[in-house]
Amino acid sequence: MRVVAGQAKGLPLKAVPGKTTRPTTDKVKESIFNMIGPFFDGGTAVDLFAGSGGLGIEALSRGIEHAVFTDKDKKAIDTIQANLQKTKMEDQAQVYRADAERALKAMKKNGVSARLLFLDPPYHMEKAYGLMERAAEIGLLEEGAIVVCEHDRDIELPDETEHCIRFKKELYGNTVISIYRYQGEEGERID
């Protein structure tokens, strides 16, 4: 695992020890950023179920200004902090050890407004994809925000939710990347 592009390009990232996390491969990570726009001009990214922090760190490397990482697992939190240190991005990040629902509430309370949300829960936690809607409902997503869901090919996510519409879907082996855009309040269309 490494940072694929941007200011930290080529730096290796540590994986979380053990088998509790499933790291996003470099190939899939590169494809995600090709689909959502390879570089950013500021904004905040939220990496729920962050694992090693690879997606949020990639976003920082590509121009996202600030990233919030959350995970329940202490080994994951330690790995994220080590990877942020290695890439010299710790000043641009906040790391929460909390369950994702509680982390969303804490972020809202702290005034976080996300341009980019990564939602990559363990595949057996199918209900966790509902956190995309939860983030929209509590006002955590800024207008036109992008939500990247990584899921197993056996999990079928909707093309549209009350607040978000899927605009890209790609299959990589057993992994599917579904990319949504937040459509604003009441599902108003943002074109």
What would the mean pLDDT of 15-26 be, rounded to a whole number?
Answer: 77
- Residue 152 domain-assigned (yes or no): yes
pLDDT tens-digit readout, 139-150: 999 999 999 999
DSSP state of 12: B
Q: What is the pLDDT of residue 109?
A: 93
- Residue 19 domain-assigned (yes or no): no
The number of folded domains in the chain is 1
Tokens (6 digits) for 152: 């197993």
Q: How far apart are the C-alpha atoms of 102 and 106, rounded to whole Å?
A: 6
What domain range includes position 137?
27-187
- Residue 164 domain-assigned (yes or no): yes
At 157, which CATH number?
3.40.50.150
- Residue 60 domain-assigned (yes or no): yes
pLDDT band at 43 (very low <50, low <70, confident <90, very high): very high
- Residue 166 domain-assigned (yes or no): yes
Encoded amino acid at 110, one letter: N
- pTM over cut 0.75: yes
Q: Largest alpha-carbon pair distance within the chain? A: 43
Count the neighbouring beta carbons within 10 Å of the beta carbon of residue 57.
31
Average pLDDT over the chain, rounded to an integer: 90
What own/partner pairs with CB < 8 Å and gap ≥ 24 does 164-168 have?
A: 164/132, 164/133, 164/136, 168/35
The answer to whether residue 122 scores a pLDDT higher than 90 is: no
- Residue 14 domain-assigned (yes or no): no
What own/partner pairs with CB < 8 Å and gap ≥ 24 does 105-113 have?
A: 105/138, 107/46, 107/68, 107/140, 108/138, 108/139, 108/140, 112/44, 112/46, 112/68, 112/140, 113/44, 113/140, 113/141, 113/142
- Residue 129 domain-assigned (yes or no): yes
Tokens (6 digits) for 147: 């939500």
What would the mean pLDDT of 90-102 be, rounded to a whole number?
Answer: 94
- Residue 122 domain-assigned (yes or no): yes
